[in-house]
Each structure stands twice: as structure tokens, then as C-alpha cells.
Amino acid sequence: MCATTTFALLSAYATLLAPLSGLDIFAWRVVLTVPGALLLVALRKRLPILRQLLYRMVTAPKLGLAMIVSAALLGAQLWVFLWAPLHGRMLEVSLGYFLLPLAMVLVGRFYYHERLDRLQWLAVACAAIGVGHELWVTGAFSWPTLLVSLGYPPYFVLRRKINHDSLAMFTVEMALLLPPAIVLVFNGGSLAMIAGHPDRWWLLLPGLGALSTIALASYLKASRLLPVALFGILGYVEPVLLVLISITLLGETLSVAQLATYVPIWIAVALTALHSVRLIRLAPN
């Protein structure tokens, strides 16, 4: 819950860094997250594991290529998440995050052959009603929605195939994104925009790095430890927070037509909460 709350708050945090563009903030986020990720690796005594992963990437070219693809998939998600709140498109991104758990549940069921109970199937059905309504009203989803809902599943599947320590993988992914991020920082004009604002240098930008490290490391840890179907359904919590932040902090609005899309999905969230309570009660003490 801590990870999802922190991750959702990043969308509002990005607006504090205006007039930087979404691409500028993405570049700074990568630059400032790498030191935090390395610090986490050291504090959790994962340095030998990180070295092992780097060695495997050098000696096994397929693994190295897989990590590059994984970093690219993650980079696209990090960028759109910071671009959307600056352009009034955060509700579209949040819809993508609502669809993502549904996609992950289907991946878990049909790709990993995980079994779902009746309550989980009911949650999926409710979410599917919301999806169907959106398609009926608009005829299609916006590209930010599709980027999130269709971009994350192959990313999580690829990470499971690589099957390495989640924090070490996250650190390597961010390190692979670091060279293009540095180029963007020096060539994108952001240095000039923040030169006269010491609060951005010493408070807001470091805060962006700290929040990113905490949120993403926790989120990716959960993605690897939990069963895919359960991880997918629990992911409904985050888009609810994104909708609340979009409306209360970012000034976006939900139309009546949009409510007809979101309400069935919110019902799925309630069913998810009930399912989680059942899991806790059935767990051995």
C-alpha cells in the first residue's frame, strides 16, 4: 500500500517541477534515481547479486539484450507517467492502470495457467463491463491508456523470465536508461530553466529521485513475489488513487460517460478488497 500511494503521488509531484517538460522530468528522475537505487542495493547487501547480474549480462548476450528491452519498456512507462499530469491526460493514464490488472489477470490465467476463484472472476467481469462501455462510447482507447495497459504486461513477463533479484534488475534498468537521460539533461534546456531556482536543485529534484526509488523498488518487488493474478488484481488500488489525485490535485474532471466506465471498475476494486480479506483470513497464523 505504501508503494502504490507513493507512486500515485508522483503524478502530482511532477507538476511542482513546471516549466520542465515531461521528458525533462523523466531524464532528471532517471539521473536522480540511480544513486538511490545503488544506495538501496548497498544497504540491503545486494552488491554481490548486482555484480552477478552484470557478469551474466556480459557473458550471456541474450540476457543483456533482454535487460535492454526491459529498460526500454520501463522507460516508456516512466515518461508517460510524468508527461500526462502536465498535459491534463492523467485520467487517461489512470484508465490504463485500471486495465492493467485485468490484462495481468488474463496473463496469469492463460499464460501461466493460474487458477482464479469465483470472486476474482466476478471482479474481472465487472472490470470488463467498464472496458466494454468505454469501447462502445469512444470506439477506441487513447494512446496513453493503451501504452500503460499493453506495455506493462510484456515487461512483467520478461522480468519473470529473467528471474533475478528485483532490486538488482531495477538498478540495472535505471543504469541502462542513464546515458540517454544525461544527454536529455544537457541538451534539453532543463539546466537553464532550473538555474535560478535553488528550491528545485536542493529540494524538489532530490525529492523526485527519493520518491521514485522507494515507489518503484517496492512495486517491482511485489510484482516478482506475488502470483501474477493476485498481483494484477491488487493493482486496482493504484489507479483509484490516481483518479482521486487527478480530480483533487490536478483539476481534471470525470464526465457522466466516464463514470459509466469507472463505476464497474470501482466495483471490481471493492470485490478485490473482499478477496484480499478472505486471503488474510485463510492464511495460516
Outline where DSSP puts E strands in 70-228: none
What mean pLDDT is predicted for residues 123-143? Answer: 81
Report which of residues 204 and 1 the model is more confident about: 204
| pLDDT surpassing 70 at residue 235 | no
Determine contact, residues 119/271, Cβ cutoff 8 Å. Answer: yes
User: Cβ neighbours of residue 74 under 8 Å, at least 6 residues apart?
Assistant: 155, 173, 177
pLDDT tens-digit readout, 238-269: 777 888 888 888 888 888 877 888 888 778 77
pLDDT tens-digit readout, 40-52: 889 888 999 999 9
User: Cβ neighbours of residue 170 under 8 Å, at least 6 residues apart?
Assistant: 37, 216, 217, 220
User: Cβ neighbours of residue 197 under 8 Å, at least 6 residues apart?
Assistant: none
Q: Per-residue confidence at 273, pLDDT binned at 50, 70, 90? A: low
Reported as half-sphere exposure (CB side, CA atoms, 13 A), residue 227 has a value of 14
Q: Per-residue confidence at 230, pLDDT binned at 50, 70, 90? A: low
Q: Per-residue confidence at 53, pLDDT binned at 50, 70, 90? A: very high
How far, in Å, CA of 237 to CA of 12, rounded? Answer: 17
> Can you spell out the DSSP letters for 30-73?
HHHHHHHHHHHHHHTT-HHHHHHHHHHHHH-HHHHHHHHHHHHH
Model pLDDT, residue 174: 93
pLDDT tens-digit readout, 165-203: 888 998 999 999 999 999 999 888 788 778 777 667 677
pLDDT tens-digit readout, 115-127: 877 887 888 888 8
**Cβ count within 10 A of residue 139:** 7
